[in-house]
Structure 1
Amino acid sequence: MNIPRVMSRNVTQPQINSPSSGRKLNPIKLPRQKEKVVVVMGATGTGKSRLSIDLATVFHAQIINSDKMQVYEGLDIVTNKITKEDRRGVPHHLLGTESPYSEFTASHFRDAALLAIESITSCGQLPIIVGGSNSYIEALIDDYDYKFRSRYDFCCLSVDVSMPVLDQYVAKRVDQMLENGMVDELRPLFNPKGDYSRGIRKAIGVPEFDQYFRKESFIMDEGIKQRLVEEAVNEMKKNTYKLARKQLGKIHRLHNVKRWKIQRLNATTVFCKHGEEAEEAWKKKVAEPSARMVARFLFDFPSANVGAGLRLCSPSALRSAMATATCDGYVLTAGYPRLSIF
């Protein structure tokens, strides 16, 4: 979805002068307005990465990965890392940056994410945190020293897909991984004495293929080899189904127990369609509603005015209507047509 970008602009507080005497008073120290952060959550396979890119191209943002397997270097197919092409030029942080054999904990993520957020906001851009590892996100937002909440306001979006529909999609995605060369990607990580409780070896796919790689060199019958691959793939699918339900359960806990305000986007319809119909459903059910939610969060628009402030228009109409428009200290820049905010 192509939409005009939004860039934040810092607004400084003026000094206060006494109108009666002309005497300059000390500046009033008003509370510092918190920077804003967007969080995109959801179970594996629901389209979180796609939505984060859509939002980043609207709101002039950079993305911080919060998937605990995608943070490691390697296994791009198995961990389903977003490709450079699909990133559409949007900068990503903590994506494939860590050694695959190290242990990148929730505490490590919290510290690294805080640095990334500070770097992004310092250049007037919006941080978007995206990933399925809710333990990482919770460690960041509800950190023990209140560092995040004291400095940032956050908006949580959750992309939801009904479980039966998501299960079907996940199964197809694992089959596609196999066609894309997953076995060859996994092979270098095989170690008969490998520890599946650390680093990237925890990724779904690595332990599931352990038995196949142990027996591969001793089996000459291709039919038996194929059966072992199928068993590993089926185990991957089952474990991915379990992961999706576990992720959804954590989101429900954050909402119901910790009272996080999490705004739900139901993408089930998208997964039931194909081609242009799926693209249209994504735009109507996910991309545009999420843009409205984020605009309301960033600009403090009253709910009643948000729908009126977002309108579809052609690229030529957008460029002629505005080269640059301002709104409460934010600048909206043209160049990404279809959806404009006024």
Structure 2
Amino acid sequence: MKQKVIAIVGPTAVGKTKLSIEIAKAYNGEIISGDSMQVYKGMDIGTAKIKKEEMHGVPHHMIDIKNPDEDFSVADFQHSVQKYIKEIASRDRLPIIVGGSGLYIQAVLKDYNFSSEKRDDALTKKLEKEMDTYGIKVLYDRLQKVDPIQADKIHPNNYRRVIRALEVYEKTGLTLSEFQAQQQGASHYDSLLIGLEMDRPLLYERINQRIDVMIEEGLLSEVKQLMDNGYENYQSMKAIGYKELVPYFHGETTLEEAVEILKRNSRRYAKRQYTWFKNKMEVNWYKITPLTINEKFNDILLDLAGFLKS
């Protein structure tokens, strides 16, 4: 029998963390963070990393395992999460993946083969020569035009990833996201995806409120500390919650403008999350409101009982 795995997905600020604790307590589970930015130490507030007191004794994994100057690719994420699933299952406990981008969750559950497209040395050298002649910005601008989804995930100075994404596109005619989606193999798992959703106006209001709380809790100090430690130009700092505030510290924008851009980008990201999960994955959606959340969580726990017995 395939190992059963639960994944809780949905936009930021919708209530995934609270639900994951309820499920873990009810079904002897351990939680794996599906957020690729929560792996970084010192990036706590901006990634909405769960606090110790919020864990209620439930073991959490994939948190604080990397320094902000270390790369962490979707292939790295896939390997690490699959390792934790195996370890949790060996303890006769239920693996629960919480949050994260659709591509990363899909890579784990659908077992993408990331090595199927070999490097083209001649094409790599050609792109590297262009970079040496015209600068990385020219290549990054090209990537933004042909594959804006990947460009949004890659720091403009991370020339290796920029070149790799362009190489895949020029060789296959597919964007890196499209190419990866075609490489998925048979899943090792019997997985159930639980999606939380709410009406857009209410969700956007919650996102705005969450960011106000982040500012109150010290997000500015967190970003400044990361910059002072020399992490400004690394991939980790391209995450939403960090890249929007860097210009403020350089005097390029006001704090009010930076926070509004952060709220706008967070709302847009939530919309993209919805679109991905609705179009790419089979998700069991539950619509919640602040008044119905406990009732919906009870429904989810009952539905899970049937899945886990099957």
Gap regions ≥5 residues in structure 2:
114-182
Partner of 1:232: 258
Partner of 2:286: 265
Does residue 246 in structure 1 map to residue 272 in structure 2?
yes
CA contact (8 A) 1:41 1:130 kept: yes
The structure number with the bigger radius of gyration is: 1
Partner of 2:196: 159
CA contact (8 A) 1:77 1:177 kept: yes
Compare the two structures and name the one with the higher strand fraction. Answer: 1
* Separation (CA, whole Å) in 1 of partners of 2:63 and 2:193: 20
| Deviation sequence 1:147-178 (CA, Å, 0-9, x none) | 98553200110011111111111111111111
| Deviation sequence 1:170-198 (CA, Å, 0-9, x none) | 11111111111111111022279966561
Paired AA for residue 243 in structure 2: P
RMSD in angstroms over aligned alpha carbons?
Answer: 2.2
Paired AA for residue 249 in structure 1: T
* Separation (CA, whole Å) in 1 of partners of 2:27 and 2:217: 33
Residue 299 of structure 1, CA deviation: 0.5
The equivalent position to 2:14 in structure 1, one of 27, 30, 46, is 46
CA contact (8 A) 1:56 1:128 kept: yes
* Separation (CA, whole Å) in 1 of partners of 2:53 and 2:230: 37
SS for the counterpart of 1:215 is coil
Does residue 213 in structure 1 map to residue 279 in structure 2?
no
CA contact (8 A) 1:44 1:132 kept: no
Residue 289 of structure 1, CA deviation: 1.2
Partner of 2:175: none
Residue 144 of structure 1, CA deviation: 3.4
TM-score by length of 2: 0.73
Partner of 1:204: 240
Q: 1:165 to 1:196 in 2, by over 3 A?
A: farther
* Separation (CA, whole Å) in 2 of partners of 1:84 and 1:194: 25
CA contact (8 A) 1:189 1:206 kept: no
Residue 105 of structure 1, CA deviation: 1.1
CA contact (8 A) 1:45 1:170 kept: yes
Partner of 1:22: none
Partner of 1:71: 39
The equivalent position to 1:182 in structure 2, one of 197, 216, 219, is 219
1:1-342 matches, within 5 Å, as 33-144=1-112, 149-190=186-227, 198-199=235-236, 201-215=237-251, 228-255=254-281, 260=282, 262-267=283-288, 269-270=289-290, 278=291, 281-285=292-296, 287-300=297-310
Gap regions ≥5 residues in structure 1:
1-32, 217-226, 271-277, 301-342
CA contact (8 A) 1:64 1:93 kept: yes
Paired AA for residue 283 in structure 1: N
Paired AA for residue 40 in structure 1: I
CA contact (8 A) 1:52 1:128 kept: yes
Paired AA for residue 282 in structure 1: I
* Separation (CA, whole Å) in 1 of partners of 2:229 and 2:91: 47
